[in-house]
Amino acid sequence: MMQYRVVWLFIFLILNIMPTIAQDNLSVEVIGVPVYNQDNSTVSVDVVVMGERSLELTNLTPVNFEIGEPLSNLSVTPQRRLPIALAVIVDMSFGSDADLIRDTLRSFFINYYQADDEVTLYILDGASNIPRIVEIDSLETATGVIDGLQQQEPFYFITDAVDRALNDLIVKGNSPVRPRMALHVGSLIARPSETSASVAFARENIPYFVVQTHRLRDQQAPLFRELANNGAGIFSNNKNGTFVLAEADFQAVNTLKLLFDTIDNTRLVYQLSYTSRNQSLSEIREVPLTVRLNSQFTATTDFSYSRSFNPPQIEFANPADLIVNRVPFRDENAQITYSRNTQSVTINPIYPDGVNRNIDSMRLEVFEVGTQNILQSTLTSNLTPNIDGQYVLTWSLDDFSVPDTVTEVQVRVTAFDVLGLTAITERPATVSVASAPPLPTPTPTAVPTEAPTEVVEADATPILAPPSSAQAGVGTSTGVASAAANDSATLFIFAIIVLLIIIIILLVRVWRFSRDGRTLGAGGPVDREDIVPNNLDDMPTPSPEELDMMDEDVAIAQLIVTKGFDTSIFAERVIKITTPEFLIGRAEDDETDLVVNVPYVSPHHCVILVEEGNQFMVRDLGSKNGTFVNDERVKDDDSMPAPLGSEISITKSITMEIWDANIQLDMTRFDRDGDGDDDAMDEVEEAEFQPLPGLKYVDDDGDPIDPNYEPI
C-alpha cells in the first residue's frame, strides 16, 4: 500500500510541474473590448494566456505582466468564466466496468459542467462502431444519459468516434473565448493500434484527455497513457474508482481531480486593471502587452482602448484679486493719475480626467450687477502658465475712473483648452475709487512794499571838527536811515525804468497803427472817425438772440433725457444737437459730441444723423450693450429712422427723446415732486406757432372767416 502511495505522489508531482516545463508555445490574447472608466482613469482588459497543450497557468501575478504605458495600481484577477467546447468519448465495450464509468462521468458533470458549455457525448454502445451522439444542454440531460449507460456485448473500435469528435470540434472553430478539448473514458482498448487515433488532436492543438476506470485491467494502462500522450493530453488511472468520492457528491481526487482541474483551467481569464498615468491627448490608445514567465518564455500582443476627456475646471486662485482699491492723485501737471491702471487675476486650472494640458485662450468679462451690461470683454491667447501651472490675466481698470465711487461688478472667466473643451467660473468683485485730491492752491507772489522815507533836514552849518564820542551814537542812527533811503531810491529808479519801457511800447504800437491807417483809404490817410465812430451811441447794439448765436452754435434739434438723468453724467437735461452727425459715446475726444462717461456705454456708441427736412436717423456703431429706437434694437452698424418724439435709448439704462429745436417743453414734468428723480412723462405741449413771412393770419379772437377769404 505504501508503494502505491509513493507512485501516486510521484505522478502528482510530475503533473504539477508539467505546466511549468511545457510552455514552449506560450501565447497571450486579449478577449473582449478593453474598458476605460472616465471617472477614475482606470483601464480594464481581459486576456487569455495559453501554453503548450493549453495546460493551466494559474499562478500568474502582476509581476508576469508588462503594460506599455505609464500606470499605477496594477491588479491581476484570475476568473474561470470561459465556456468550453468538449467532446466526451465513452467506450462501453464488453468487459467495461459500467458503474465506475458512470461515477467518473458524474464526477465531472456535477462539479465542473457549466450551463453555457458545448458538450457532446460520443457513446459506443450500439450494434456497430458508429457512436451514438448526444448533445448535452443541461446537467439534468447529462445525468439522464449517464444513468442509462450499460456494458455491451461487442468490443468497439474507437477510431470512428475519435475522428467524428475531432471533425465536430474543428467545425466549431478555434476561439480563445471557447477553448476546445476531448475527454476519453473507458475500461479497455480493444485494438492496441488505435492509440494513434488521437495524434490528429495534437496537430490541431486540441488536448485529448484520457481516464481509464477499471478494476482488473492494469495491463491496459500503458495503452491509455499512450493514447493521452499522442493527443497532447493528461492520463488518469482511476482503478477501482478510488479517485471518485461517491459519498461526497462524487468529488474527484488525486490525478483525476488534477485532470478535471486542467480542463476547468482552460476557462481561465486574467482580468488586468490599472490606473492610466498616460498624458497623451490621443483619444485612441495603442498599448503593447507582454506576458513573461521567465527569461525564456514570453508572449506579446497589443490592445487598444478609447478614452475621452473631461472638460477642465477653473477657479480664482486668489479671491483678493477681485477687491480692487484705486487711488487717484495729481502729477506734476496737476492731471489726475491713478495708483493702478490694471489688476492681475490668477486662474488655477484643474483637470478631472488626470491629463494635464495647456489652456489655449481665456476670455475675461466684466458685467454690471443688476443690468448685466457688459463693461469689458477681453480675449487673451497664447497663454503660458507660471511655475505653479496657473495663468495670470490682466484686468483693465480704465472703465472705473469716477472719484469717490464703489462699483459692484461680476467677473467671469471662460477658458478654452487645447482640445476645445470649455470651463467657466465667475465671482463678484468690487472696484473702489477714492476721492480725487484738490487742485493745488497757487502761492501768492509777494509784492515789495516801499518803506516810508524819513526826511531829515540838513544842517546848513558844516561840521569842521570830527564828532565827539557823544555824537557817535547819533551818527550810527543816521547811517541806518541813510541805508533805508538808499533802498527807497533803488525802488524808485526801478519803477521809472518800467514806466519808460511801457511808454516806448505804446509809442511803437501808435506808430504802427498810424502807418497802417494811411493805407486803408484810397490815396490818403484815413481819419479816426472813419474807423471808430466819435459817438458810441452811433454803434449798432446786437439783440439778445444775436448775442446767443454769437456765443454758441445754432441748434438743429434737441434731446431731452427722460431716463437715467444724473448730474454727474449730464450737465443739463436738454441737450442741443448742433451738427448733422451728432456722435454719442464714452470717449472724451474731438469726435464725440455728447460724452456719456459710464462704463457700459461704448467709446463711440451711436450717431444721430440729421437729413433734409429735419429727418432723423440713428446709427449704431457696434456698441457692446446696444442702441434702441422706441424699444427696438438698432442692428450693429445699421441705421433706423427716429421721427420727432421718438425715444432713443443708449443701452437700456439711458433714454432720451428727440424734438425739433424750436419746440418749447415743460421741464417740470420730469421732476414734479422735486425729489430729483425722473417722473412719468406728461403729454408734450404744442409747439409755439411761428408765422411765415408774407402771409396774413386770422387771430382766434378776430372776425369769423367768410367763404371768400384769401390768406394772401
Q: For position 438, what pLDDT does the model report?
A: 81
Q: Are residues 226 and 320 in the same domain?
A: no
Q: For position 52, what pLDDT does the model report?
A: 63
- CA distances 518 to 64, 340, 511, 533, Å, are 121, 64, 11, 18
Rg over CA atoms, the chain:
57
Q: 167 vs 486, which has greater pLDDT?
A: 167
Q: Are residues 318 and 422 in the same domain?
A: yes
> Residues for the chain: how many in total?
712
- Residue 365 within a domain: yes
- Residue 419 within a domain: yes
* CA gap 401, 586 in Å, rounded: 12
Q: Are residues 129 and 195 in the same domain?
A: yes
pLDDT in tens, 599-620: 889 999 999 999 887 789 999 9
- List the CATH number of the domain containing 422: 2.60.40.1940
Question: What b/e sequence results for 436-459 when a residue is b if at least 16 CB atoms lie within 10 Å of its CB, and e otherwise?
Answer: beeeeeeeeeeeeeeeeeeeeeee
Range of the domain at 53: 23-80+270-306
Q: Are residues 569 and 585 in the same domain?
A: yes
- List the CATH number of the domain containing 110: 3.40.50.410
pLDDT in tens, 156-166: 999 999 999 99
pLDDT in tens, 629-685: 999 999 988 899 999 889 999 998 899 999 988 877 767 666 655 555 554 443 333
- Residue 466 within a domain: no
Angle between helices 254-265 and 2-21 (to 10 degrees): 20
Taking 90 as the threshold, does the pLDDT of residue 400 lie above it?
no
Instruction: Indicate the SS3 state at residue 188.
Output: coil
pTM (predicted TM-score): 0.56
Q: Are residues 131 and 231 in the same domain?
A: yes
Q: For position 553, what pLDDT does the model report?
A: 64
Q: For position 199, what pLDDT does the model report?
A: 95
- Residue 498 within a domain: no
Q: For position 38, what pLDDT does the model report?
A: 85
Q: Are residues 91 and 211 in the same domain?
A: yes
Determine which of 14-23, 80-89, 393-402, 627-636 has the lowest per-residue pLDDT on average.
14-23
Q: For position 544, what pLDDT does the model report?
A: 56
- List the CATH number of the domain containing 297: 2.60.40
> Which of 235-239, 487-491, 586-590, 621-625 reaches the highest mean pLDDT?
235-239
Q: Are residues 297 and 319 in the same domain?
A: no
Q: For position 688, what pLDDT does the model report?
A: 42
Domain stop point among 433, 452, 474: 433
Number of C-beta neighbours around residue 543 at 10 A: 9
Q: Are residues 256 and 321 in the same domain?
A: no
* CA gap 249, 245 in Å, rounded: 7
Domain stop point among 378, 406, 433: 433
Q: Are residues 390 and 255 in the same domain?
A: no
* CA gap 491, 448 in Å, rounded: 9
- Residue 518 within a domain: no
What letter would DSSP give residue 231? T
Region 222-245 average pLDDT: 95
Instruction: Single out the residue of 557, 543, 577 nearest to residue 687, CA to CA.
Output: 557
Instruction: Indicate the SS3 state at residue 164.
Output: helix
- The separation between CA 703 and the C-alpha centre of its own chain, rounded to angstroms, equals 82
Q: Are residues 229 and 294 in the same domain?
A: no
* CA gap 481, 396 in Å, rounded: 69
Residue 99: pLDDT band by 50, 70, 90 thresholds? very high
- Residue 461 within a domain: no
Which residues 6+ apart lie within 8 Å of 526 measured at CB? 517, 518, 520
Region 35-61 average pLDDT: 82
Taking 60 as the threshold, does the pLDDT of residue 523 lie above it?
no
Where does 83-132 have alpha helices with state H? 98-112
Which residues 6+ apart lie within 8 Å of 576 measured at CB? 552, 553, 555, 557, 558, 559, 661
Number of compact structural domains in the chain: 4
Taking 50 as the threshold, does the pLDDT of residue 689 lie above it?
no
Taking 50 as the threshold, does the pLDDT of residue 4 lie above it?
no
Amino acid at 638: D
Q: For position 528, what pLDDT does the model report?
A: 41
Computed over every residue of the chain, the mean pLDDT equals 81
Do 169 and 180 contact (CB within 8 A), yes or no?
Answer: yes
- Residue 115 within a domain: yes
Where does 518-628 have alpha helices with state H? 528-531, 544-551
Q: Are residues 141 and 184 in the same domain?
A: yes
- List the CATH number of the domain containing 578: 2.60.200.20
Q: For position 237, what pLDDT does the model report?
A: 96
pLDDT in tens, 446-473: 555 555 555 444 444 443 344 444 344 4
Taking 80 as the threshold, does the pLDDT of residue 204 lie above it?
yes
Which residues 6+ apart lie within 8 Å of 338 measured at CB? 326, 327, 328, 329, 397, 401, 433
Q: Are residues 231 and 114 in the same domain?
A: yes
Write down the residue that cell numbers 446696444 correspond to.
626
- Residue 439 within a domain: no
* CA gap 147, 99 in Å, rounded: 9
Determine which of 241-255, 539-553, 618-632, 673-687 has the lowest per-residue pLDDT on average.
673-687
Domain stop point among 397, 417, 433: 433
- The separation between CA 639 and the C-alpha centre of its own chain, rounded to angstroms, equals 37
* CA gap 432, 343 in Å, rounded: 13
